[in-house]
Structures are given as C-alpha cells and as structure tokens.
Chains A and B, each alone.
Chain A
Amino acid sequence: GQQLNQSPQSMFIQEGEDVSMNCTSSSIFNTWLWYKQDPGEGPVLLIALYKAGELTSNGRLTAQFGITRKDSFLNISASIPSDVGIYFCAGPSQGAQKLVFGQGTRLTINP
C-alpha cells in the first residue's frame, strides 16, 4: 500500500532556531496534510496543500507540495517552546476516504 516516509525521525534544537522536516512517498499524492500531535492529544491539522508546487504559510509555519507530487516539506521559523510535539504528514489514500500517515518527526526544544 501507499507509504509516507518522514525525516528526520527526531530533532533536538535550541529555541529560536528554524526547523525543516520532509515527507516522501514512492507514489503520487494529490493532497498533502501536515498535523501536529501533543502528548495525550489527537493530531491537529496545521496546513493543507492541494496543488503541486503550492507553497502555503500559517504563521511561522510554511509547507510546500513537491512538484513531483511525491514529497512535501514543512518549515518552522523561530521555534518556540510550544512547537514541541510530533509532526505528521498525511495524504488521502488513492480512491479511498481515508488518510495515510507518516511515522512522524518528534521535535524537542532545548531550553
């Protein structure tokens, strides 16, 4: 089945640093979604991308839909403590009303 691979698996950064993570697939996705999950909570949608090449921002977050439709990246600028959590990319499975998720990138911010 379709799979999404995220890298890196974990990141340890200093507050104020910029963050970049990406998501790749061997198959084409027509929509890319980025979620954040805090401990003990469900994932929350951050950004949705619908067109190849699209670049979308949400505050300090910027995400791009790769031109090949097989990858996407998420950038966070000037990280703050509340950015800590696990970031997931996801996309709708072909021909089905369900999402496929990557395995996540865990972000830790050193004080």
Chain B
Amino acid sequence: GAGVSQTPSNKVTEKGKYVELRCDPISGHTALYWYRQSLGQGPEFLIYFQGTGAADDSGLPNDRFFAVRPEGSVSTLKIQRTERGDSAVYLCASSLTNRVFDTEAFFGQGTRLTVV
C-alpha cells in the first residue's frame, strides 16, 4: 500500500509479557516517529528516527520501551514487562525529511494495545 502500515491493528497481552509493534513507513521517507495516544488525549511523542538512528528518544517513558529501525525503513517498538498503564493506541508516522513543520507527517492507523 501507499500509506504507513502498522501491525497488528489490535494486540491484547497479559501484564508482564513482552510485545512488539511494527511500522512500515511510506517508501522513501527518511523520518519516522512513534507516538502514544491514551483515551481522550492527543498523541504524545515517544521517539523519532532519522534513517537508522534514534535522533530523539526523549519521549520514551522508561527503559521498558525500546525501538529500532535497523535498515532505515521498517521500525519496531518493543515493550518489556508490560503494565496495564501501557494500554493505549501506538501511532507511527513518517515524513519525507526531518523538518517536521515543512513536510507533512503521514500517520498509520495505529496499534491498539490492551494489557490485561
């Protein structure tokens, strides 16, 4: 497809388990972002990649959260020892360049994570 693709669409996991969320950005987009959206709130920044490197991971809430983008395309957000408070929609976005206010960032449909 031509848009940002996120898998799975929904993930239910038990407290304490490990989860991986995948993002396929638009082909050719060098910048990739992960956001988290809690119910009734706007998206909150987690981490930003420029190419393969994490240029800004200041939004990751703690060391249970980690993200990679080994080949500069697909990214995986990894959450260890999940907690009920991790339940949210995790959104991925990509843009053509790293100038977030010059080029539109296109969002995927999100992965709804529920920790029970």
Contacts and interface: CB of A to CB of B under 8 A. Distances in A.
Interface of A: 4, 30-31, 33, 40-45, 48, 50, 88, 90-93, 96-104
Contact of A99 (B105, B109, B110): B105
12 contacts: A33-B101, A41-B109, A42-B108, A43-B43, A44-B107, A91-B101, A96-B58, A97-B48, A97-B50, A99-B43, A103-B41, A104-B42
* Majority SS at the chain B contact face: loop
- Size category of the B interface is 20 to 34
Given A42-B107, A43-B107, A44-B107, A97 B43 contact: no
Interface stretch (B12-20, B61-69, B75-83, B92-100): B92-100
B42 A98 contact: no
Contacts of B40: 103-104
Contact of B98 (A33, A45, A93, A97): A97
